[in-house]
Amino acid sequence: MESRSFDSTPSDPLQEEASHLQYVLEQIRSQLTKDGTVLLEIDDQDDADEAQTADEVAETMVERLLRERLRNLRFAEREPYFGRLDFAETGRTEGEQLYIGKRGVDDPDTGDRLVLDWRAPAASMFYSFTGQGNEAAYEAPDGTISGTVLLKRNIMVRDGALQRVVDSYVEGQDDVPVTDEFLLYRLADNKDSRLRDIVSTIQAEQNDIIRAERNHAVVIQGVAGSGKTTVALHRLAYLLYQHQDRLRAERMVIFAPNSMFVDYISEVLPELGVGGIQQTTFANWALRVLDYEVGLVDQSHRLRDWFGMKDDGVRQNEYEEVHKKGTLGFMQQLEAFIRTFHTDMVPREDFTAFEGMTLPYATIAQWFTTEYGNYPLAQRRDRVLARVKRWMEISVKEAQVADKKALKRTGSAHYKAYEKRWPTLTPLGLYQTFLETVSDLTTNSIVKPKKRGARHEVQMEDLAPLLYIHLALKGVDPRDRFDHVVIDEAQDFSPFQLAVLKAHCPSQAFTILGDLSQSIHTYQGITDWRDFLDLFEEQARGYFQLDVSYRSTFEIIEFANRIIAGFRQFREAKPVFRSGEPVVIESVSWKERLEKAADKLHVLKQEANTVALLTRTEEDAHVYHQSCLEAGIDAHLIDAKQNTYLGGISILPIYLAKGLEFDAVMLVDVDTNHYDASALSAKLLYVGCTRALHKLCIQYTDTMSPLLHPEERESQGARVDEE
Ligand SMILES: Nc1ncnc2c1ncn2[C@@H]1O[C@H](COP(=O)(O)OP(=O)(O)OP(=O)(O)O)[C@@H](O)[C@H]1O
């Protein structure tokens, strides 16, 4: 990185950066030409010579690195850096200009660093330095480096052209901007249909999470729009960069709430230059680990029931069962049940291979409980039976009889009969037997197949217990071991699910993120982060809170906060001061509501890339979608089976919109029937409102939901507690 003294007269920032950019781009282009020529030579060589010697294999490694370098250089040619920090290390007379970019760029001939990768230790100061005083420090491999900051500058380069230069700190100048002008500029933009990286504007509190200890279980409680998902993805990119020798991308995993969300976040990691990280849902992963022994019951029915407006006492019992099956108490009950097999699995009988040759039960039981005691149950069973069989075969071999063949036939027949008396354990079989022993639970969630040979289907809450039994039977397959686990929307996870995942991640490195104010699946999730934190050692866990919402305008956040204020577990979101239009609330007649909604969507789409119409139920989403199609509006219906997010205009129930965001949002039917004064309705409306970046419109018929005017809500005796 360039060193220079800072007593020179400050020049015009734009001019200065334009000439620096020209210099850096020249360097990058010259490296691209050099590396490109080398690669062409390698390619020619490869074509001429197909068989590979050891040296040539090593060469392909070089080739791989070269290709990666070329990819980085091509990226850097378009957008070499986004920020500059002038830093003078204590005790040195010369300072350094650190240009920080998404990819680091070095000059291989001179060893000069042209651009510092955003994940490098020194780059941390760009994020942690907030202009309160001029001191800054970072952790280098050899210890803490401290010094003073002289300049912090945001630089926007697109397609190799300088677009914007904004100083957020200049030493000695008082007129430092109070708010981060560059951040506001970025936030005011319309978004496209995928989540994007935030490398150039990571905030100090987000930087702390990204760079938190590798082997810690980090729990993040963050209000809607505080950047939890984004931060978790950046954390993975950071960890992979910092610990390349210890972590492998293929052994890192992100659990997202549904397949559509996986698609929605799919571009962030590639943008950060990271590939190969698994992105999945808990259900998809669990079914695969269980080797598809069972299938999952179609979830749309349950979602429809839970988020519908009927108050059904019968269903209440079902939800209580769901909740119970997610607790650690239930896991312990299951554990005790499985333990009985440690003693009861071996048939209580001796094994007689043939007359005069008997292996006593006590010996077999000793092999099972002691000699193979450390293996998972199924392996113990297989090992003990293999040993019994071997014993039988040796006994036949050593027997002093004339007709060995006949003896062998007898021995084999006795062995087969004996083997059959051992129980064959499958996760599903064991689980069903276990459920029958638990007095307050039923096996209703397990659906028998309609056709012969087809699989049983189970509910979501059965997956963790099934995996737990699978673990007890077979242990963890090394291919299913993780180096790091990210759980998004973790408030909807159960402690049992987390405990099962913990068994698959020996380093206990977790990034767990969610928002208790958005816990709309209370029947299966948690109400206190302690339920998760307590699963980890005190010195190996961390809790972070993000209170600032970056997604929505000031008006939208204020409005959403009011809806949910007063309910337990509410965390008030603090808006970034980005002002927009007031929230619009419109009363429409029942007859006109579909037509008005279609008109409004049409207007909203003129200024937005993405627009959503959010309903309470999936049935309502179908009705609105149909009416939009009839009005000639190109809208996508999103239901629980959707795997991809298409952008444009989307029509969906609120519960499927969790985690997503749209430039403009329209909430329909916000009346007393659809949204009463309950905590669930409040959370749904809160989630719905906080999906909007710039514009929020609300439409209702008859009587407006009491949640929209809290004073009235209280006079109606609204519950300010969880259900
Ligand atoms: N430091 C930042 N700079 C620029 N944009 C940011 C920053 N932090 C968050 N954002 C933006 O805020 C929006 C919300 O981010 P994200 O979806 O990660 O939040 P979240 O906390 O997961 O939200 P939710 O709980 O509602 O799902 C995104 O558009 C993201 O790009």
Residue 392 CA, distance from chain mean position: 53
Residue 45 CA, distance from chain mean position: 43
| Cα gap 345→422, rounded to integer Å | 7
Per-residue pLDDT, averaged over 442-459, amounts to 88
Of 14, 5, 2, 25, the residue nearest 167 (C-alpha): 14
Confidence of residue 6 (pLDDT cuts 50, 70, 90): very low
Asked whether 676 lines ligand 1 (CB < 6 A), one says no
| 105 touches 148 (CB < 8 A) | no
Per-residue pLDDT, averaged over 94-104, amounts to 92
pLDDT tens digits for range 601-657:
999 999 999 999 999 999 999 999 999 999 999 999 998 888 888 889 999 999 999
Confidence of residue 174 (pLDDT cuts 50, 70, 90): low
pLDDT score of 138? 93
> Does the model's ipTM exceed the 0.85 cut?
yes
Atom of ligand 1 nearest to the CA of 691: 26
Query: What is the percent of the chain where pLDDT is above 70?
Result: 91
Q: Which amino acid, 691?
A: R
| 663 touches 610 (CB < 8 A) | yes
pLDDT score of 307? 83
End-to-end Cα separation, the chain, in angstroms: 58
Calculate how far, in angstroms, residue 499's C-alpha sits from the geometric centre of ligand 1.
Answer: 28
Torsion sign (Cα): 463, 465, 468, 470: negative
Asked whether 225 lines ligand 1 (CB < 6 A), one says yes
Is residue 101 exposed (0-12), middle (13-18) or buried (19+ Cβ within 10 Å)? buried
Say which range, 317-331, 459-473, 563-577, has the weakest mean pLDDT. Answer: 563-577
Confidence of residue 523 (pLDDT cuts 50, 70, 90): confident
Length of the chain, in residues: 723
Q: Which of 550, 686, 691 to mutate to test the pocket of ligand 1 (most atoms within 8 A of CB)?
A: 550
Q: Which of 154, 182, 198, 696 to mutate to test the pocket of ligand 1 (most atoms within 8 A of CB)?
A: 198
| Cα gap 653→639, rounded to integer Å | 8
> Which residue is it, tokens 């780059």?
123
Answer whether residue 22 shows pLDDT above 60: yes
pLDDT score of 722? 38
Between strands 3-4 and 95-101, the pairing is antiparallel
| Cα gap 251→243, rounded to integer Å | 13
Here the contacts of 63-70 (C-beta below 8 Å, separation 24 or greater) are 63/39, 66/35, 66/38, 66/39, 66/42, 67/39, 69/35, 70/32, 70/35, 70/36, 70/39
Confidence of residue 4 (pLDDT cuts 50, 70, 90): very low
Q: How many CB atoms lie within 10 A of CB 598?
A: 19
Calculate how far, in angstroms, residue 223's C-alpha sits from the geometric centre of ligand 1.
Answer: 10
> Which residue is it, tokens 């690195």?
65
| 72 touches 189 (CB < 8 A) | no
Calculate how far, in angstroms, residue 550's C-alpha sits from the geometric centre of ligand 1.
Answer: 6
Of 174, 184, 180, the residue nearest 130 (C-alpha): 180
Q: Which of 168, 517, 551, 610 to mutate to test the pocket of ligand 1 (most atoms within 8 A of CB)?
A: 551
pLDDT score of 3? 45
Between strands 161-170 and 143-158, the pairing is antiparallel
Answer whether residue 177 shows pLDDT above 60: no
| 287 touches 458 (CB < 8 A) | no
| Cα gap 678→614, rounded to integer Å | 19
Of 510, 513, 458, the residue nearest 483 (C-alpha): 510
Per-residue pLDDT, averaged over 367-386, amounts to 92
> Which residue is it, tokens 């010697």?
53
Query: Which residue ranges are tagged as binding site for ATP?
Result: 222-229
E-assigned strand segments in 213-258: 217-222, 252-255
Calculate how far, in angstroms, residue 255's C-alpha sits from the geometric centre of ligand 1.
Answer: 18
- Token digits of residue 691: 């999906």
Of 552, 513, 546, the residue nearest 208 (C-alpha): 546
Give the global pTM.
Answer: 0.89
| 86 touches 94 (CB < 8 A) | no
Q: What are phi and psi of 533, to 5 degrees?
A: -60, -35
B/e letters for 341-362, b = 16+ CB within 10 Å, e = fewer, are: beeebbbeeebebbeebebeee
Asked whether 206 lines ligand 1 (CB < 6 A), one says yes
| Cα gap 203→150, rounded to integer Å | 19
Calculate how far, in angstroms, residue 396's C-alpha sits from the geometric centre of ligand 1.
Answer: 72
| Cα gap 101→173, rounded to integer Å | 26
Is residue 237 exposed (0-12), middle (13-18) or buried (19+ Cβ within 10 Å)? buried
Asked whether 550 lines ligand 1 (CB < 6 A), one says yes
pLDDT score of 278? 93
Per-residue pLDDT, averaged over 379-389, amounts to 94
Of 239, 242, 250, 218, the residue nearest 478 (C-alpha): 250
DSSP β-bridge partners for residue 587? 700
Calculate how far, in angstroms, residue 660's C-alpha sits from the geometric centre of ligand 1.
Answer: 10
Q: What are phi and psi of 535, to 5 degrees?
A: -80, -10
Identify the residue whose C-alpha is closest to ligand 1 atom 14. Answer: 225
Of 578, 637, 583, 592, the residue nearest 612 (C-alpha): 637
Confidence of residue 313 (pLDDT cuts 50, 70, 90): low
Q: Which amino acid, 407?
A: L
Query: Which residue ranges are tagged as binding site?
Result: 222-229
Q: Which of 199, 205, 226 to mutate to test the pocket of ligand 1 (most atoms within 8 A of CB)?
A: 226
Query: What is the percent of the chain where pLDDT is above 90?
Result: 64
Answer whether residue 46 shows pLDDT above 60: no
CB under 8 Å to 467, separation ≥6 — which residues?
A: 286, 289, 290, 427, 500
- Token digits of residue 667: 């909430």
Q: Where are the alpha helices (DSSP H) in 521-571?
A: 530-533, 554-564
Asked whether 183 lines ligand 1 (CB < 6 A), one says yes
Calculate how far, in angstroms, residue 264's C-alpha sits from the geometric centre of ligand 1.
Answer: 13
